[in-house]
Chain A
Amino acid sequence: MFEVEVISGSIFRNKTSLEKVDLLLHYIKKNQGKVLVIEDPLSPQEEAMLIEQTMLGIDEKFKGIEVAVIREENLSFAEKIAAILGIRKGITVIGPSTVIQQIKREKEPQRILLGAISRTNINNVSSVKNRKKVINKNPNSGEIKEI
């Protein structure tokens, strides 16, 4: 069984994009086995930066990440201005690829399905038993549900 840690978006407050990405990767490497749900969506540029920094950190122990970002689409003008100012609604789900075997996304409503690798078989992907966990975020209420 894997652990899910839900963290307030305030951990990103006053941080640059690179600082956000470094913080996420530091957390992931330090807490191998945990899946993080951060109440703040990374921007597409931050997602690309996250991939770059992940690649720089890959070695025999750290194989990479699985990540999914849910953000509101079809923003109104006011929401676009708010997004430019850094006020964004959504979540980022991230975990080490040695724990999350697969993240499947669904579009309407936006959902994330996690397929996790059993901890006892973490190094044997071909014989794992999958557990699945759905994280469902209501963009209006901000409520996060685990199913």
Chain B
Amino acid sequence: MVFRWFFNWIKKIFKKKKTLRIGIYGPPNAGKTTLANKISMDWTGTSVGKVSEIPHETRIVEKKEKIVVRTGNKKIEMDLLDMPGIATKVDFEDFIRYGLSEEEAKERAKEATKGIIEAIKWLDNVDISLVVVDSTLDPYTQVNLTIIGNLAARNIPIIVVANKIDLKESNVERIKGAFPQHQVVAISAKEGKNIDELYKKIAEIV
């Protein structure tokens, strides 16, 4: 741990990166791909991935390279990494309930497990992380704590993105209360609400 901190410190001094790798983490169905699409559409005019109500729609790390974001007088060049949702269980029968055939459901479950492993492996390779949580749900879950705990242990800057504020059940204060040591930005990726505030927070970290 001490060696990793020292290595990161030395790396920061001698190597100023031009392009930042921004990892979008979170549990399934928190709105990670919707956010990635919003950022990408804003600055490149193209989307990153497909959005679906069926969990684990994103099963490989989707990468959008060289996105240039301008906020205030800052210009941020980033590679955006939309991670598969992290979970502790994957049950193919859950997908059947969404209308998939048994064969499709089993294949999706197999791909989802691989995606989760890939997302965890990427924890070592991001410069900034956006941890997307559904603001209508209890954020104090083990998956969220594990993601944030691992990013914090690697000294990777974290912005907690409280998504889905367009829904009336949204409770941003509950998220701020769960993660008081981290910056929380409340947004609606779907409606594009408060995304500028997110860009500003990213710019403050850079």
* A interface with B by C-beta (< 8 Å): 43-45, 47-48, 51-52, 54-56, 58, 60, 63-69, 84, 97, 103-107, 125-126
Contacts and interface: CB of A to CB of B under 8 A. Distances in A.
Contacts of B142: 47, 66-69, 103, 105
Given A52-B121, A66-B142, A107-B140, 7 more contacts: A44-B145, A51-B88, A56-B113, A58-B89, A65-B89, A66-B89, A104-B138
Contact of B113 (A45, A58, A60, A104): A58
B173 to A, nearest CB: 13
Interface in B70-107: 86-93, 97, 106
Nearest to A108: B177
Interface stretch (B30-38, B147-155, B156-164, B189-197): B147-155
Interface residues of B, number: 32
Contacts of B116: 51-52, 55
Interface string B47-75: 00000000000000000000000000000
Contacts of B90: 55, 58, 63-64
A51 B138 contact: no
Q: SS class of chain A's interface: helix, strand, loop or mixed?
A: mixed
B117 interface: yes
B2 to A, nearest CB: 8
Contacts of A45: 150, 153
A44 B141 contact: no
Nearest to A84: B1
A125 B89 CA distance: 14
B90 to A, nearest CB: 6
Contact of A105 (B87, B92, B141): B141
A68 B150 CA distance: 15
11 contacts: A45-B150, A47-B149, A48-B123, A51-B86, A51-B146, A56-B117, A58-B109, A64-B88, A64-B90, A66-B142, A97-B88
Q: SS class of chain B's interface: helix, strand, loop or mixed?
A: helix
A105 B140 contact: yes
B9 to A, nearest CB: 17
Nearest to A83: B1
B66 to A, nearest CB: 29
A48 B89 CA distance: 13
Given A58-B113, A65-B89, A104-B138, A44 B120 contact: no
Contact of B146 (A47, A60, A103): A47
Nearest to A54: B88
Nearest to B1: A84
A63 B120 contact: no
A111 to B, nearest CB: 10
A107 to B, nearest CB: 6
Contacts of A103: 142
Contacts of B152: 44
A45 B146 CA distance: 8
A106 B97 CA distance: 30
B88 A60 contact: no
A51 B121 CA distance: 11
Nearest to B178: A107
Nearest to B140: A105
Interface string B116-140: 1100110100000000000000101
